[in-house]
Structure 1
């Protein structure tokens, strides 16, 4: 009975989230605000991945902006190449290459840009490139049993290194401005209101697909092992399991999810820059999961929406104070609700609902065995 109640509560959470995202928000908001919500939901991919990595795997990464940015840059490379055809760039010194390359006196497209002229390659690259980097980092670290705060610091260092590299290689990456002026996807103008509406629903569909995948993993034997590894890592290792490879898997999974979010962000916003790769955005992404509840997939989405909506509201209404107000929001939520919004729901709503239900009748006692 308790299990059925838990399943019913989980489905109710998914249904409520779907109702809000699919029905209420498209009806209540104009296209501009709905596009903002779509941008927030692209961050939610990172938060969902952090639920698996941090909440279930016990591995805190402060560099998820790296994978979000890589996914966004891969998609931006395809879109920029499509916008840089010979006709559109006829006024450049070297037609047929992105404008920032021409400004930096490059005379040919770098070889590693060439594969991203093709959409299937770009879509595969969105997932494969960040996951491959995550695999290299995690194997190098977890095989040597580097974890805890040391791993978190290393991921911060990776975020700093990548952002500096992107800014420094201006001729190849667009530098501090990033890759901008992205207009079409296979000839489809992504700047129109109808395109933004479609991209919003695509983002919502992919997000629910990511939640379904993570929920399936949680319910599988792998999910049980991740929780056991988080709480009693040595016991899992002594049971014969390769703990390091479990960590590698969940880290790569979180990286792939973050990269999908980055690609959808690029499509909806129309640019990608190193400002989404560094340490500060990576820490903000951890806050999304913390506010929503690091053990709740649905809570991670709500936390992302709450934090970003607060950020937008405070920056518009209190331009001189919004950073302080955001800091107060973060500190207040974490101190008052250490388990996030999901913990608040469990503590007050779920318990009251269970208390209002009639008690389950006790099972009848077994009759004593008949003696001869």
Structure 2
């Protein structure tokens, strides 16, 4: 009789666990490169610059950083969302006038501001009275630009207005605001705007210590807003925004509402511009229609294009570079600085369509490939 063999087969022994390979150095550097660069720039801006620059140059840098905050919002709407906005001066002006109205009322000590006395105004307008409260004024710095942007976004994006039509509409809005401000001499200061500020929350605006403190405040606000915008771009909302930029109709067919996403993004950029305008007022000491019309708005867009609109850091860099170039050319070559500024824009756009940051990334990748091949 044949003996039956046991049908159970022993399971093969599990292979020994392999050690987890260590993360290669290039991968670690790629992951830590962003925080390292941000930390280096933060130390340079917050520590080195206040110690190395004289008060006048430090004030100019603070002005450039105010423009960089506006450019950061343009990079968010244009570079990430594909919405070319040529009227960020509107939101910059709303925030600046909100802060300027509070500072003028504070300096007047309950009386009429000086330009109203010169214009023959005998009592404080009702529009100005709430801005005597600092809490209300600071809230309006953000609320007014965001409310206008939300209203405009709902009216425009729901009608699927985009591309050049949206850009022209925002540019017309900036021109209309300038005409309105210039025509209300007794209410807004007219062409001169609001100027002659003496006190900023208990500090002498003209003092060197106050200007250094304002510079640090502007740089810190720019850093916080940059980190917030960067986190927004990396989130699901940011990926949806990129998808709308590259194919809005496809995103709509997938069940999303591009109008809502674009409206929220436009409102966020408007809030950034309002904050920049409020910081600009004590730094420079003036807010006028000449600073928020069509030409200043176009200069900000040019700065974003020069730095690289597809990267938030490029938008910030471009605003600072264009601001410095404008100052340098106007000091060294006052008769030709407009031509040189235009030549700089043409040169960068011809040699590096993606801006200075795109050129830097291309060079870095080229060097990396050569090292890898070697």
Whether these two folds match at TM > 0.5 is yes
| 2:217 aligned with 1:217 | no
Following superposition, the deviation at residue 85 of structure 1 comes to 1.7
Matched residue of 1:232: which SS? helix
Residue 229 (structure 1) aligns with = 244
Give the distance between the partners of 2:220 and 2:365, measured in 1 at CA: 27
| 2:36 aligned with 1:21 | no
| 2:89 aligned with 1:74 | no
Give the distance between the partners of 1:73 and 1:350, measured in 2 at CA: 45
Residue 352 (structure 1) aligns with = 367
Matched residue of 1:112: which SS? coil
Residue 301 (structure 1) aligns with = 316
Residue 251 (structure 1) aligns with = 266
Alignment root-mean-square deviation, CA: 1.6
Residue 40 (structure 1) aligns with = 64
Give the distance between the partners of 2:45 and 2:220, measured in 1 at CA: 10
Residue 264 (structure 1) aligns with = 279
More off after superposition, 203-212 vs 111-120: 111-120
Equivalent in 117, 125, 130 of residue 102 of structure 1: 117
Give the distance between the partners of 2:260 and 2:131, measured in 1 at CA: 31
- The TM-score normalised by the length of structure 2 is 0.90
Contact 1:13 1:298 in 2 (8 A): no
| 2:347 aligned with 1:343 | no
How do 1:161-200 and structure 2 match up within 5 A?
161-200=176-215
Change (3 A) 1:9 1:345: farther
What's the CA shift string for 1:16-63, capped at 9, x where partnerless?
322331233223211110010000000001111111100111100000
Matched residue of 1:175: which SS? coil
Gaps of 5+ in 1: 87-95, 360-372
Give the distance between the partners of 2:372 and 2:190, measured in 1 at CA: 60
- The TM-score normalised by the length of structure 1 is 0.91
Residue 155 (structure 2) aligns with = 140
Give the distance between the partners of 2:353 and 2:119, measured in 1 at CA: 49
Contact 1:17 1:298 in 2 (8 A): no
| 2:328 aligned with 1:313 | yes
What's the CA shift string for 1:91-139, capped at 9, x where partnerless?
xxxxx11111122221111111111111111111000001111111111
The structure that has the greater radius of gyration is 2
What's the CA shift string for 1:177-196, capped at 9, x where partnerless?
00010111232212100000
